[in-house]
């Protein structure tokens, strides 16, 4: 059973959730199961500066009003004290509290590299040390030199050099889009297959969730189908550029597939890449002449290109096939 933990390493509830997950996995009902825990990226503060700034200059750390999850907006000091007490109850202390408001992007790159090179065991060691550095040691985890030291201490010496390149940068950004497409909106969120539990829930709730999903045997969806659905989800969330990013591997490998081309056309249209939309749709109405939506999209694309007279003929055909398009 693979447990994906979608979380930000600068989210206090993610560290608390990690401790609670470890306790939940000790439940007798889960004994003997082959369980892999994989950490996936989430960003609670995408606007965090590239150059870290002291927390005291930026107000309280983002802890969230919800009792189990992180939010972007800074919380009152009382909330921070409440979270600190919960952290202490989970054995995270005594010096709880980050000293820096730091971008977590490179830390997520390090976790992705650790998983790529050493699997979930190495990644688990690294994520623990990154969170400890941020929450207990008062360190700046946006500092690549520090991340390199953490990796070295974790038995991953080559990471320091890799972090100075763009290694797995694309992969991390793509995973952030996948999380968005899958509706991940809370740090942490625990995902097994298509089932998810949001927030650093109590140990009992986590164990109950894991025991329930451990007995499920869902059919593994092909990677191509997942990407297609994620791209469509991002279009519905009004992120056409993100949709095109996730769709690109399918365009490279299955560029003649009608469904891939339809989604690409929508992505190009809604991101104002009208020439690309026009080229894809011109081929679509030839290869799928009964696709009234393709005719409609081509007509609208031509309208936005200022070619009203040419657009009219395509819009007329679309309306004839599907009257509500009229």
Interval 125-174: pLDDT, tens: 999 999 999 999 999 999 999 999 999 999 999 999 999 999 999 999 99
Tokens of 104: 């977590």
Helix pair 292-304, 274-287: axis angle to 10 deg = 150
CB atoms under 10 Å from CB of 272, counted, come to 10
Q: Are 140 and 15 members of one domain? A: yes
Query: What is the domain-level CATH number for residue 149?
Result: 3.40.30.10
Q: Are 114 and 20 members of one domain? A: yes
The percent of residues above 70 in pLDDT, for the chain, comes to 93
Q: Are 209 and 230 members of one domain? A: no
Q: Are 247 and 111 members of one domain? A: no
In angstroms, the CA 283 to CA 159 distance is 46
When pLDDT is averaged across residues 211-228 and rounded to a whole number, the result is 86
Q: Are 150 and 174 members of one domain? A: yes
Q: Are 55 and 178 members of one domain? A: yes
pLDDT score recorded for residue 65: 40
Query: What is the domain-level CATH number for residue 245?
Result: 1.25.40.10
* CB distance 320 to 299 below 8 Å: no
Average pLDDT for the chain = 92
Q: Are 21 and 59 members of one domain? A: yes
Cα dihedral value 283, 285, 291, 294, nearest 10:
80
Q: How confident is the model at residue 218 (pLDDT cuts 50, 70, 90)?
A: low
pLDDT score recorded for residue 96: 92
pTM equals 0.91
Instruction: Name the residue range of residue 52's domain.
Output: 2-214
Q: How confident is the model at residue 75 (pLDDT cuts 50, 70, 90)?
A: very low
In angstroms, the CA 46 to CA 88 distance is 27
pLDDT score recorded for residue 78: 55
pLDDT score recorded for residue 77: 58
The per-residue b/e assignment along 223-251, b for 16 or more CB within 10 angstroms, e otherwise, is: eeeebbebbbbbbeeebbebbbbbbeebb
Q: Are 273 and 209 members of one domain? A: no
10-29 pLDDT tens trace: 999 999 999 999 999 999 99
Total domain count, the chain: 2
Q: Are 206 and 268 members of one domain? A: no
Cα–Cα distances (Å) from 47 to 105, 195, 207, in that order, read 11, 30, 34
């Amino acid at each position: 059973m693979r447990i994906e933990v979608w979380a930000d390493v600068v989210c206090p509830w993610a560290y608390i959730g990690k401790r609670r997950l470890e306790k939940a996995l000790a439940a007798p009902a889960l004994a003997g199961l082959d369980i892999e825990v994989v950490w996936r990226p989430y960003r609670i503060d995408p606007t965090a500066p590239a150059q870290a700034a002291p927390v005291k200059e930026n107000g309280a750390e983002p802890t969230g009003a919800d009792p189990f999850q992180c939010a972007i907006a800074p919380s009152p000091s009382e909330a921070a004290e409440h979270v600190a007490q919960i952290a202490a109850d989970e054995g995270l202390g005594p010096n709880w509290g980050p000293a820096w408001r730091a971008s977590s992007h490179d830390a997520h790159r390090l976790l992705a590299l650790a998983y790529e090179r050493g699997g979930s065991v190495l990644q688990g060691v690294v994520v623990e040390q990154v969170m400890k550095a941020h929450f207990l040691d008062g360190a700046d985890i946006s500092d690549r030199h520090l991340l390199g030291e953490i990796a070295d201490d974790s038995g991953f010496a080559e990471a320091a050099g890799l972090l100075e390149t763009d290694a797995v940068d694309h992969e991390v950004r793509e995973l952030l889009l996948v999380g968005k497409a899958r509706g991940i909106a809370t740090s942490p969120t625990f995902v097994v297959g298509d089932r998810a539990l949001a927030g650093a829930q109590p140990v009992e709730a986590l164990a109950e969730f894991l025991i329930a999903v451990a007995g499920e045997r869902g059919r593994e969806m092909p990677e191509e189908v997942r990407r297609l659905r994620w791209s469509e989800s991002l279009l519905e969330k009004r992120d056409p550029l993100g949709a095109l990013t996730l769709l690109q591997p399918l365009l490279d490998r299955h560029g003649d597939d009608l469904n891939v081309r339809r989604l690409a056309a929508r992505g190009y249209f809604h991101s104002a890449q009208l020439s690309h939309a026009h080229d894809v749709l011109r081929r679509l109405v030839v290869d799928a002449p009964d696709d009234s939506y393709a005719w409609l999209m081509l007509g609208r694309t031509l309208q936005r290109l200022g070619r009203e007279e040419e657009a009219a003929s395509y819009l007329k055909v679309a309306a004839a096939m599907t009257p509500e398009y009229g």
